[in-house]
Structure 1
Amino acid sequence: MTVRNLEAMFQPQRVAVVGASDRPGSVGATVWRNLLGHFQGELMAVNPRRPELGAPVAASVAELPAAPDLAVICTPPATVPGLIGELGTRGCRAAVVITAGLSREQKQAMLQAARPHTLRILGPNCIGMLVPHLGLNASFAHANAAPGNIAFVSQSGALVTALLDWAGQRGIGFSHFVSLGEHADVDFGDMLDYLASDPRTRAILMYVESISAPRKFMSAARAAARNKPVVLVKAGRSAQGARAASSHTGALAGADDVFDAAISRAGMLRVHTLHQLFLAVEILARFRDNRSERLLILTNGGGAGVMAADAAAHMGVELAALDETLIQRLDAVLPGNWSRANPVDIIGDAPAQRYVEALRILREDRDSAILLIQAPTAIVPSDEVAEALLPLASERPPRVLGCWLGSGAVQTARQRFRSAGIPDFATPEEAVRAFSFLRQYHRHQAELLETPPAPPGIGLDLPAIQALVRQALAEGREWLTEPQAKQLLALAGIPVTPVRPVPPEPQAAVEAAEALGYPVVLKILSPDITHKSDVGGVRLNLLDAEEVRSAAAAMLQRVAAARPQARLEGFAVQPMVQRRHAHELIVGATIDPLFGPVILFGAGGTAVEVLGDRAVALPPLNVTLAEALIERTRIARLLRGWRDVPPAHRPSIHAALLAVAQLLADVPEIAELDINPLVVDAHGAVALDARVRVSASRPGGAARFAIRPYPQELIETLTWGGQPLTLRPIRPEDEAQHRAFLDQVDAEDLRLRLFYTRRSFEHTELARLTQIDYDREMAFIATRARTDGGGEETIGVVRALCDPDNDSAEYGILVRSDLKGRGLGRILMDKLIRYLRAHGTRRIVGQVLRENTAMLALLARLGFQVQPHPHDPDLRWVELPLQTEPAAA
């Protein structure tokens, strides 16, 4: 379940409070008081004593005069499962379970009682929820919320009441206030799906302690974040979640880093404290349409301006430079001792008109937001300054952030700005922090829609890799030997240095070195020693036979002394790679307990954990995502080159990252992987050392990805018109090819098939067509080889968008205009029908223009039911049932 019956919860016409009471201080009395006289629908109560409550009171659920849409349960834990069953039988489809203290067995019984009726449950152990525009306060919160367009969803009831109190003082309204409690049924994924399509909600805020269904959460989050801002604060950032691990990646990829990566990948914004969440509320409520990257600071105090500038430098916010024209215009209205730079200090004696003139000039820089900082003076009251600035400061789109320093002396000024919808912050640092949040959010959104280049060829020899893994598991190995690990990387297309394993005898090491050529590297081989450098098990740059012999003998002695129980299988000898201007990197993978396979990138070498310069990402990856992962590290600046050091060869790093991502998808036995170091210079990359841990329990694989990877298994090739035709899912890299396809479709076909009258498609529109979530949307394109030999071309597309419950999928189909009438539409529809049937979708639906007789005829031949549209005589409603069994409860 996801959004099924949530409209009964958040748009009820009848509400019953089970356990409503007249006993002062009780939860039942508080909930009833919050509803009575405010809720715009019908209100009922259930209490065996039948107290006088000012509305109908029934002794039991069975005696209610009508079935409620929503029930609020405030009774002891043991009563909850039975009440849920009774409510479901009466026809109720949603319940808020305020009750705390349900045992595991009682919660399970509650869910089992709800399942036959698809009754949705919020809670248990929650404050409740508020829908202000309905006057619905189904909670025991101490205050109501004003109507607005921000939704807040929290696992903490205390934060619900705190934010209510804070928002009430600042005049910020909400579309929904929801306390999830123990989220036994309705969870964050459900709320994101519901609020994403709610027309009253323009931004979603969340307080998160835990995620129970990561793929569902990520799918819902990615869909919601494309439509509106989603901001969250996550508790549990400390090292408590860290785990001991045998690989560098396992030690470095902490749970909080992985959560950050998930939030970024979904296009959401994460803040780290409750105070920052309040700042996010303020900036989103009043400033969300501003897309400036730079900041202008206007102040009457030099110190305040410096504080803002320092905060901007710390947070990576660029201060706009004043050009000569702007300075000359400001010179004309400001005293001679003004700062003549940004921050623009107009001096402490500034009258109100000086603020107005300076702000009018600064507004001419359309690319910058303006932070107004005013400290109270005896020259002119702050409220007069605010009144004079309001006409300019409140113009739309929003350009001005307010910061009135002080308390009582600026209270009226602050209130004037708030009443005009201008964001207000108590300190310069708060204002800059809030602005940085908005910039970060817009950047996440841009990354979400960026078109990746064509992927490099990834030549995984999967059968050979699987045979290698099976061999290691059959030998009882958890860690591959270094030669095996490097062989696995080579089979995945990652360049490696050749390695020769030899017995633990110095002379054998010498013979291998002679064969490879000097200089060489000598390493110990032991299944019990993962980090060889820690026990003196690595020697570099050995130049001749005597050095190899001496190093091998000494290494055997050191290892025997440091790890006497370790099994020694021999030495690994490999050429010494010496590259001028090379960088040592780490590329790794591990399995996060919640989000599944994770990829790590950063600065490598023996001090990798001390440096701690790394970033993590969720697979699958493309080139754009791989580049974004690299750019989140400090070493990225070195990789760009400096002085006489040329830039590193980025494509080779991208290829290594993409190969590791593909390994994680195709080889579920991989539990941990380290390539450290991956040495890269201007000419390419090569793996010098590798560790791979495998497990017969198959902890990874594409099925464990938090984001469904590209479904390669759905690609098929057939013959059409005497030539090969490929049907495959669309991918983000197809944007240019898809634009070329749409350019070859007649305007009339676009109107008939898509109800679309424009000929041009913006990048954002094309990105939404090509960058899809394969868990809830599918688009198959038909491609063939171009006649000019320039690759493939798209000649048709069919797509379906499933609702969050996978109950129905709305289809769309388009064939290149010059290829109509040749059976391609039927081939595409057949592909879609087969996929959706296997996906468990219950029906395909759509609407077709009445005049589109060719499409209606095709659908009829495919078994669709064609009916008049209930709301538009020019349309036809079409539907094809896909499943024969009854719907799951």
Structure 2
Amino acid sequence: MSIRNLESLFAPRCVAVFGASDRAHSVGATVWRNLARGFQGELWAVNPRQPDLGVPVARDLDELPVAPDLAVICTPAATVPGLIARLGARGTRAAVVVTAGLSAAQKQAMLDAARRHTVRILGPNCIGMLVPHLGLNASFAHADARPGQIAFLSQSGALVTAVLDWANDRGIGFSHFVSLGDGADVDFGDLLDYLGSDARTRAILMYVESISAPRKFMSAARAAARNKPVILVKSGRSAQGSRAAASHTGALAGADDVFDAAISRAGMLRVNTLHQLFLAVELLARFRDNRSERLLVLTNGGGAGVMAADAAAHMGVELATLSPEAIAQLDAVLPGNWSRSNPVDIIGDAPATRYVDALRVLRTADRDSAILFIQAPTAIVPSETIAEALLPLVTERPPRVLGCWLGHGAVEPARARFRAAGVPDFPTPEEAVRAFSFLRQYHRHQAELLETPPALPEGLTPDLGGIRRIVQEALQAGRQWLTEPQAKALLACAGVPVTPIRTVPADPDAAAAAADALGYPVVLKILSEDITHKSDVGGVRLDLHDAQEVREAARAMLQRVTERRPHARIEGLTVQPMVRRRHAHELIVGASIDPLFGPVILFGQGGTAVEVLADRALALPPLNVTLAEALIERTRVARLLRGYRDVPPAHRPSIHRTLLAVSQLLADVPEIAEIDINPLIVDAEGAIALDARVRVSADCPAGARHFAIRPYPQELVQTLDWHGTPLTVRPIRPEDEAQHLAFLEKMDPEDIRLRIFYSRRSIEHSELARLTQIDYDREMAFIATRPTPDGGQETIGVVRGICDPDNDTAEYGILVRSDLKGRGLGRLLMQRLIDYLRAHGTRRIVGTVLRENQAMLALVQRLGFQIRPHPEDPDLRCVELPLQPSQ
């Protein structure tokens, strides 16, 4: 149900506590006391015993004057389903079920009752939730939370109280503090949708143990992460133990790595501990706008500088190199024995003016690096005096300086001054560097949401008919694993270059004849569906140069395999050319199915030692070129692929094509269960698959409907004739950014003002990215394009519908190129959006139109929209079209 009725949960006007009690230390007594202490709305207690709470206590729901907006339930498990049913019928729309111990049947009965009346349930088996700015503490936590701008969400009740205690001790405040408990109804996806657009919430922190409804979670997370930092800790990072796998991909694609890939794709940040969670939010809250990749360190102690440098090396943070000009400027203000490098050690006897002079030089000499300021207290000058002197510099915008005051009592006044001025402060150099590394990682994840992918590789048009024939042939034969010839044929149909392969009986002479036909040198392999890894049983021979070598290798191979795997069925031998490529890299590209997030793509360093090297990264499909490149860059082998010494850079586009081909296979062929291309040989000339394994399943675990992120809806592309011109109406793509900008630049400013209520034509890249990189699960933008004389396409119109998370209402917007108005394009696009939203299940489409925009009002009236005055602005009109039959 997403955000429906969550206002009743988090902003109730009246609250009733069922099971309110006067029994010391009971849950009902604690919840009542917490609410009575601070909630400013109406508060009622319900308990058939009518305990002495100092206020009237109702014996039953029927005695309440009205239905409460929010019910907090602390009654026995058996009473919960019936109580939810009665509350829903009475008009209550939200409940916090603190009660634990509901059986599976009771929990289902509770959910069935809630759904009949759209009652939202937090819990059961939860501590509850706090909304500090309302004084709302609907929990049995031991303390109230301070008001603030951070939301904390947790599946662990114990961590809720521990973090609350920790935060109160450090003066950290919250907008919302929520224990999800069992998460039977309200889950992380719902809360991300609600808090992502909540004006009081500046950042969202989460402790996650598991995710339900991964597609909803990913959609909500991507939407929330565009608006504010979303940072999480997830338990279960350690390996679950090795598992037998029939392919390298299956062995390497661990569940926690898949979760990391999902977090990266959603633009969120994952940290390892709760302490790091607050380190990260401290920096993102105060330093989010800093985009530096490098760090300068300014310190009055050499040891502290070394600690910072060591931490930077360990965490992959680059320390900036001082320019000769910067060194000269520092020479002029520092004593002769300063460090003359980064870290900049200004010596322990430094007066306040030396700190100021050095920091001023660093700020002006290197404007691209962040500055970590470290000070250890001395008897020369109080730390507070240094802080006071530095405040004009450290508060300049954009933010450049991180603070680290080493010590406790002696530096506490200085630390307080920095914090009061909005400067992020950390107790140790290591924590400061780690927080900076989180910031860099966060910005890189955000960049994946905003980068504009280049055009898709040309010619990537898979032969789906050929692929389906190969898959069905294997399934009809009762086999899961394709033979190597079948796997290579499938990849070739998908657009992946493969080596030619000949299949022959298990006969040395037949193998030699095939080798003669292919040309030497060749590779000989055993062919058996019972043998997963051929090299492990001596089933591969490389670099055979003549027929005699092939015969001898075949005889020895057949004997060796028979001895080592006597029960394996030998179907024959395969012969293929020996690929010799100087400076080639062995890579692995694979795909598997994660139980939670569905299809996953793997890339890394390949070869026979692939599990030992374990140099791999994972990504969720669908991929485009930009996301494929980001996947490559998350591996160590990426550095080798850039070239080194006399080795030229590898041909990246060929790797991109392979990754995109695998992504498309997963979308188009639901029967794909696993792909293993190892090795994929890549050099400066291109890529070619030398070996491949593909597993298929009649259960259809792949396919676009199992993707955690909805792929491009190709089925919605339409081509039609428009005034004698071919017109394509299709969903917008990330690759359309440049074309979309050209479209907007051709618009008359007055037309933009009438449609979007502002007149500027220039638009930032980040805004264009948000217009073109949409989540097709909750938004749709159809563009109309026509051919240009140079053979390209130009956008001439766009219509957009943005659905709320409940898919109840979609707000529309439309633009048609100014010189093409009056030719029916607007009506065509509006009708396409209406048809799509109706089929999508959206209940109604709405819009806001300027009163003076008579052309738009006339158009929507012809389409059946209802038009009425705006309740707050006489210059506006509200328009609405019901899309579904009345219930």
TM norm. shorter chain > 0.5: yes
CA distance in 2, matches of 1:564, 1:230: 55
CA distance in 1, matches of 2:151, 2:398: 22
CA distance in 2, matches of 1:560, 1:567: 9
| Preserved CA contact (<8 Å) 1:8 1:94 | yes
CA distance in 2, matches of 1:366, 1:71: 55
| Preserved CA contact (<8 Å) 1:171 1:418 | no
Counterpart AA for 1:34: N
CA distance in 1, matches of 2:236, 2:797: 48
CA distance in 2, matches of 1:242, 1:703: 29
Q: Which moved more, 1:848-857 or 1:287-296?
A: 287-296
CA distance in 1, matches of 2:55, 2:241: 50
- 1:209-235 deviations in whole A, cap 9, x for unaligned? 100111100111111111111111111
Q: Secondary structure at the match of 1:169?
A: helix
Q: Secondary structure at the match of 1:24?
A: coil
User: Please, which of 534, 558, 561 is the counterpart of residue 559 of structure 1?
Assistant: 561
- How many pairs align? 885
State the shift of 1:396 in Å. Answer: 4.4
| Preserved CA contact (<8 Å) 1:155 1:207 | yes
| Preserved CA contact (<8 Å) 1:43 1:55 | no
| Preserved CA contact (<8 Å) 1:295 1:320 | yes
CA distance in 2, matches of 1:744, 1:409: 63
Partner of 1:272: 272
State the shift of 1:378 in Å. Answer: 3.0
| Preserved CA contact (<8 Å) 1:241 1:254 | no
User: Please, which of 583, 586, 591 is the counterpart of residue 585 of structure 2?
Assistant: 583
State the shift of 1:403 in Å. Answer: 1.6
Partner of 1:398: 399
Partner of 2:618: 616
| Preserved CA contact (<8 Å) 1:224 1:230 | yes
CA distance in 2, matches of 1:332, 1:587: 55
The within-5 A match list for 1:209-224 is: 209-224=209-224
CA distance in 2, matches of 1:689, 1:358: 59
Partner of 2:535: 533
Partner of 1:371: 372
Partner of 1:749: 751
Counterpart AA for 1:668: P
Partner of 2:438: 437
| Preserved CA contact (<8 Å) 1:370 1:400 | yes
Counterpart AA for 1:48: P
Q: Secondary structure at the match of 1:239?
A: coil
State the shift of 1:793 in Å. Answer: 1.0
Q: Which moved more, 1:771-780 or 1:13-22?
A: 13-22
**What is the Cα-based RMSD across aligned positions, in Å?**
1.5
The within-5 A match list for 1:600-749 is: 600-749=602-751
Q: Secondary structure at the match of 2:37?
A: coil
Partner of 2:808: 807
- 1:504-559 deviations in whole A, cap 9, x for unaligned? 11111111111111111100000111110010000001111111111111111111
- 1:566-624 deviations in whole A, cap 9, x for unaligned? 11000001111111111111111100101001111111111111111111111000000
CA distance in 2, matches of 1:391, 1:52: 59
Q: Secondary structure at the match of 1:556?
A: helix
Q: Which moved more, 1:40-49 or 1:550-559?
A: 40-49
CA distance in 2, matches of 1:685, 1:369: 40
| Preserved CA contact (<8 Å) 1:596 1:705 | yes
CA distance in 2, matches of 1:241, 1:206: 26
The within-5 A match list for 1:472-621 is: 472-621=474-623
CA distance in 1, matches of 2:393, 2:130: 36
Partner of 1:356: 356
Q: Secondary structure at the match of 2:442?
A: helix
Partner of 2:42: 42
CA distance in 2, matches of 1:49, 1:756: 62
CA distance in 2, matches of 1:595, 1:685: 29
| Preserved CA contact (<8 Å) 1:241 1:255 | no
Counterpart AA for 2:692: A
Partner of 2:87: 87
User: Please, which of 453, 461, 464 is the counterpart of residue 462 of structure 1?
Assistant: 464
CA distance in 2, matches of 1:389, 1:75: 58
CA distance in 1, matches of 2:22, 2:392: 51
C-alpha change, 1:6 and 1:370, in structure 2 (3 Å) is: same
Q: Secondary structure at the match of 2:884?
A: coil
Partner of 1:413: 414
CA distance in 2, matches of 1:622, 1:185: 34
Structure 2 runs not aligned, ≥5 long: none
- 1:462-502 deviations in whole A, cap 9, x for unaligned? 01111111111111111111111111011111111111101
Partner of 2:110: 110
Q: Secondary structure at the match of 2:114?
A: helix
Counterpart AA for 1:282: E
Partner of 1:33: 33
Counterpart AA for 1:201: T
Q: Secondary structure at the match of 1:425?
A: coil
C-alpha change, 1:394 and 1:99, in structure 2 (3 Å) is: farther
Counterpart AA for 1:148: G
CA distance in 1, matches of 2:180, 2:679: 45
| Preserved CA contact (<8 Å) 1:585 1:676 | yes
Q: Secondary structure at the match of 2:184?
A: coil
Counterpart AA for 2:594: D
Residue 128 (structure 1) aligned with residue 133 (structure 2): no
CA distance in 2, matches of 1:204, 1:883: 35
CA distance in 2, matches of 1:54, 1:827: 66
CA distance in 1, matches of 2:241, 2:776: 31
State the shift of 1:372 in Å. Answer: 1.9
- 1:849-879 deviations in whole A, cap 9, x for unaligned? 1111111111111111111111111111111
Partner of 1:296: 296
CA distance in 1, matches of 2:396, 2:13: 39
CA distance in 1, matches of 2:254, 2:111: 34
| Preserved CA contact (<8 Å) 1:797 1:814 | yes
CA distance in 1, matches of 2:153, 2:886: 36
State the shift of 1:349 in Å. Answer: 2.0
Counterpart AA for 1:89: A
CA distance in 1, matches of 2:109, 2:840: 29
Residue 783 (structure 1) aligned with residue 788 (structure 2): no
Partner of 1:835: 836
Q: Secondary structure at the match of 1:677?
A: strand
State the shift of 1:838 in Å. Answer: 0.8
CA distance in 2, matches of 1:752, 1:5: 34
C-alpha change, 1:634 and 1:31, in structure 2 (3 Å) is: same
State the shift of 1:664 in Å. Answer: 0.4
Q: Secondary structure at the match of 1:206?
A: strand
Partner of 1:252: 252
State the shift of 1:757 in Å. Answer: 1.2
State the shift of 1:318 in Å. Answer: 2.2
State the shift of 1:355 in Å. Answer: 2.6
State the shift of 1:391 in Å. Answer: 4.4
Counterpart AA for 1:655: R
Residue 382 (structure 1) aligned with residue 373 (structure 2): no
CA distance in 1, matches of 2:471, 2:886: 41
Counterpart AA for 1:60: D
Residue 864 (structure 1) aligned with residue 865 (structure 2): yes
| Preserved CA contact (<8 Å) 1:492 1:659 | yes
Partner of 2:239: 239
CA distance in 2, matches of 1:829, 1:103: 49
State the shift of 1:241 in Å. Answer: 6.7
Counterpart AA for 2:405: W
- 1:621-673 deviations in whole A, cap 9, x for unaligned? 00000111111111111111111111111111111110110000000101011
Partner of 1:855: 856
Residue 322 (structure 1) aligned with residue 331 (structure 2): no
CA distance in 1, matches of 2:356, 2:41: 49
| Preserved CA contact (<8 Å) 1:847 1:875 | yes
Partner of 1:206: 206
CA distance in 1, matches of 2:163, 2:352: 34
CA distance in 1, matches of 2:388, 2:481: 71
Q: Secondary structure at the match of 1:809?
A: strand
